[in-house]
Amino acid sequence: MKKNSTAQNIEEIVNKALTELKSTKTLADLDKWRIQYLGRKGLVVQLKRSISDLPSAERPQFGQAVNSASTELETKLIDQQRKISSNDKNEPTESIDVTLPGVPTNNGSLHPITQTIRDICEAFTSMGFEIIEGPEVELDYYNFQMLNIPKHHPARDGFNTLWIDQEDSNGEKPMLLRTHTSPMQIRTMEKQDPPVRLVVPGKVYRYEATDASHEWHFSQIEGLAVDKGITFANLKGTLYEFARKLFGEDVRVRFRCDYFPFVEPGAEMSIDWNSRTNETGEENWIEILGAGMVHPKVLHAVGYDTDKYTGFAFGIGVERIAMLKHGIDDIRLFYNNDIRFLGQF
Ligand code: FA5
């Protein structure tokens, strides 16, 4: 009687356990179930311990029943675990095949304008120039006034300006987005005595309609050298060398007069693009920079002794150089963020 009822007890426990097992939905549920029935203090262990309380004649049969109950519960636990794992979105469902080849990653690359800035800066650092940077939000004082472009000077028309919408006590707007990198000439010379040899890469902004060769924001590289005995020949020699380093030994360079209020004399430098690409001898001159000897008024304004020191300065349009180097016919491509274009560099 007792044997039967005990076996019946085990059967009841197993049935209850299996019903509960079926209703588990997550691996966390399953773990609770495992602890309750198969854990170190679980029901199966308690049944096993109770064997010693039984008369010795009943022990073998009871022990066998407990063991087979335990095996059944363990097998069903594994089945249920598989079932839940394949349904449970929170749990990893696949094992990792470590022998599979890796997924290739797409390597990024530097933006073509960044690459061009680096190439240009390298050409000048190899000639002893230092690289510095300056603010894009600039004062009228540095962008115009100290560069010999006072208020109402007609040269301001050439730099269509984006002003910061904040007035001073005179009702004037003293701040702007720099229209060129030339204000860094002043900021440097105010702080540093000659000799000065620096290049300043950076973004500039102009209130302009865009077309294939004009952006409203673009990059320039300013150059400045001030020392005793610097002449226009040094300016030409330095810029020739720069053109050769960037475009190759055979490139033809041309200087023509130009006007900027902060240099005297002023010049523009062009390169003959066909001197590298065309064998017919036809010329194709493209302006790449403005330059000149630093105006004595500018040197005087920063407190340099103009009897002792002279200097030259230049401002290179980076996008124009990149367009020439890569044969790009529309400047707007640089800033459209089209990966098909950018991926080529
Ligand atoms: C200037 O900005 C002077 N600060 C350059 C300078 C520096 C002269 C030092 C003398 C001494 P300019 O406005 O010409 O000059 O611009 C210089 C170069 O920037 C141009 O040769 C051209 O290559 C480029 N550039 C000018 N406007 C644009 C534009 N809207 N989009 C793209 N590039 C431009």
> pLDDT tens for residues 219-241?
999 999 999 999 999 999 999 99
Task: Indicate the pTM of the whole model.
Answer: 0.73
Kindly state the tokens that stand for 102. 């890796």
**Is any atom of ligand 1 closer than 6 Å to the C-beta of 263?**
yes
- pLDDT for the residue 63: 86
Residue 252 near residue 133, CB atoms below 8 Å: no
Mean pLDDT of 199-213: 95
Compute, in angstroms, the gap from residue 184 CA to the centroid of ligand 1: 15
* Cis omega (within 30 of 0) for bond into 195: yes
Pick the CATH number of 112-342 from 3.20.20.70, 3.40.50.300, 3.40.50.1820, 3.30.930.10: 3.30.930.10
Kindly state the tokens that stand for 68. 């087979």
Residue 70 near residue 44, CB atoms below 8 Å: yes
- Alpha helices (runs of H) in the chain, residue ranges in sequence order: 2-22, 27-38, 43-50, 59-87, 112-125, 140-143, 183-191, 232-247, 274-277, 296-301, 318-326, 339-342
* pLDDT tens per residue across span 133-183: 999 999 999 999 999 999 989 989 889 999 999 999 999 999 999 999 999
Q: Kindly tell me if the per-residue pLDDT of 2 is higher than 90.
A: no
**Is any atom of ligand 1 closer than 6 Å to the C-beta of 205?**
no
Percent of the chain scored above 90 by pLDDT? 64
User: Residue 177 belongs to what H/E stretch?
Assistant: strand 175-177
CA atoms within 13 A on the CB side of 189: 28
| Pairing label, strands 196-205, 252-258 | unpaired
163 secondary structure, DSSP code: B
Pairwise CA distance, residues 177 & 162, whole Å: 6
- pLDDT for the residue 279: 66
61 has which bridge partners?
none
Closest C-alpha residue for ligand 1 atom 25:
317
Q: Kindly tell me if the per-residue pLDDT of 205 is higher than 90.
A: yes
* pLDDT tens per residue across span 263-306: 999 999 998 877 766 667 788 888 999 999 999 999 999 999 99
What ranges do the domains of the chain cover?
Answer: 2-87, 112-342
Pairwise CA distance, residues 143 & 180, whole Å: 7
Kindly state the tokens that stand for 247. 């475009």
- By CB atoms closer than 10 A (0-12, 13-18, 19+), residue 40 is exposed
Could you identify the atom of ligand 1 that is nearest to the CA of residue 320? 23
188, 214, 220, 334: residue to mutate for ligand 1 pocket, most atoms within 8 A of CB: 220
User: Which residues are CB-contacts of 323 (< 8 A; sequence separation ≥ 6)?
Assistant: 213, 329, 331
**Is any atom of ligand 1 closer than 6 Å to the C-beta of 200?**
no
Compute, in angstroms, the gap from residue 306 CA to the centroid of ligand 1: 26
Could you identify the atom of ligand 1 that is nearest to the CA of residue 321? 23
